[in-house]
Amino acid sequence: MLNETSTPAMPETSPEEWRPVYGYESLYAVSSHGRVRSLNREVWTRNGHFRKYEGRLLTVQIDTSGRPVVTLSRNGTVRMPRVCVLVAEAFHGPRPDGLMVRHLNDIKTDNRPDNLAWGTMAENGADYVRNGFHHYARRQTCDYGHEYIGPNLMINPSKPTARLCRACNRARCIVARQKVRGIQVDFRPLADAKYSELMSGTNVFSTGMTGAA
Ligand SMILES: [Zn+2]
């Protein structure tokens, strides 16, 4: 008898398809709803008895990264693989070298095959940003409260998802240049002054010393 409550099923209307767990084909199955169960087993115990084990749904735990994991055992060896890996292996084939599982909607508990793909770490990061979960993708200002808008927004063409504060960037350049000359310049007031300049369109001191220190 399967315990239907031990593993939360994804909200899902499509029929649940079960496939063998890669590397554990005779022991476990994983489903298109992201559930894992053990299969019925018949074994001879060490003292010569024949025992039948009824398959059951496995309890899912959440690892420190927020991904569901299950406990699998084989010949006394216990492993705790991520459910997303088991689903990807069963429904998309074994893991290609160096690739990891992508959650396309970035919801780490959504382990339906349609939401999973093998991909590079860079693709995984792109999913994260595209789905708006990245700290910096969501932010509207830099650390100093300068808004990422209009003339103050800097985009690095090689990293278009990362936004930079032009005012802070200019202030940093000036501080560094003056430091070489042995002149100490306070960063914060200079950055604020640069921000005011940029936003008011009076970009007078684009490279030189402003005297704001
Ligand atoms: Zn700034």
Q: Residue 170: inside a domain, yes or no?
A: yes
User: Which residue type, as a one-letter code, is found at position 181?
Assistant: R
Q: What domain range is 120 assigned to?
A: 18-137
Task: State in Å: Cα 130 to ligand 1 middle.
Answer: 23
The total of structural domains in the chain comes to 2
Task: State in Å: Cα 172 to ligand 1 middle.
Answer: 10
Using a 10 angstrom Cβ sphere, with 0-12 exposed, 13-18 middle and 19 or more buried, the burial of residue 188 is exposed
Task: State in Å: Cα 178 to ligand 1 middle.
Answer: 19
78 and 38 in a single domain? The answer is yes
Which uninterrupted H or E stretch holds 68?
Answer: strand 68-69
The gap from C-alpha 196 to its chain's centroid, in whole angstroms, comes to 36
Looking at residue 204, its pLDDT comes to 46
The per-residue pLDDT for range 29-52, each reduced to its tens digit, is 999 999 999 999 888 888 888 888
Q: Which alpha helices (DSSP H) does 56-203 contain, by range? A: 83-92, 121-130, 135-138, 166-180, 187-200
94 and 170 in a single domain? The answer is no
Q: Residue 76: inside a domain, yes or no?
A: yes
Q: Of 25, 74, 114, 95, which Cα lies nearest the Cα of 82?
A: 95
Query: Could you give phi then psi for residue 180, rounded to 5 degrees?
Result: -60, -35
Q: Residue 54: inside a domain, yes or no?
A: yes
Q: How confident is the model at residue 71 (pLDDT cuts 50, 70, 90)?
A: very high
113 and 166 in a single domain? The answer is no
116 and 28 in a single domain? The answer is yes
Over range 51-73, report the average pLDDT. 90
* Whether pLDDT at 165 is above 50: yes
Q: Of 135, 49, 31, 150, which Cα lies nearest the Cα of 90?
A: 31
Q: Residue 180: inside a domain, yes or no?
A: yes
Task: State in Å: Cα 204 to ligand 1 middle.
Answer: 18
Place of tokens 């990807």: 88
Task: State in Å: Cα 200 to ligand 1 middle.
Answer: 15
Q: Residue 205: inside a domain, yes or no?
A: no
124 and 187 in a single domain? The answer is no
26 and 129 in a single domain? The answer is yes
CATH number assigned to the domain comprising residue 55: 3.90.75.20
Please list the residues that pair with 118 across neighbouring strands.
Answer: 101
Task: State in Å: Cα 173 to ligand 1 middle.
Answer: 13
Q: Residue 73: inside a domain, yes or no?
A: yes
Q: Final residue of a domain: which of 116, 137, 158?
A: 137
- Given a contact cutoff of 8 angstroms between Cβ atoms, the answer to whether 102 and 123 are in contact is yes
* SS3 state of residue 27: coil
Q: Residue 190: inside a domain, yes or no?
A: yes
Q: Final residue of a domain: which of 137, 159, 189?
A: 137
Q: Residue 8: inside a domain, yes or no?
A: no
Looking at residue 200, its pLDDT comes to 87
The per-residue pLDDT for range 82-131, each reduced to its tens digit, is 999 999 999 999 999 889 999 988 888 999 999 999 998 888 877 777 77
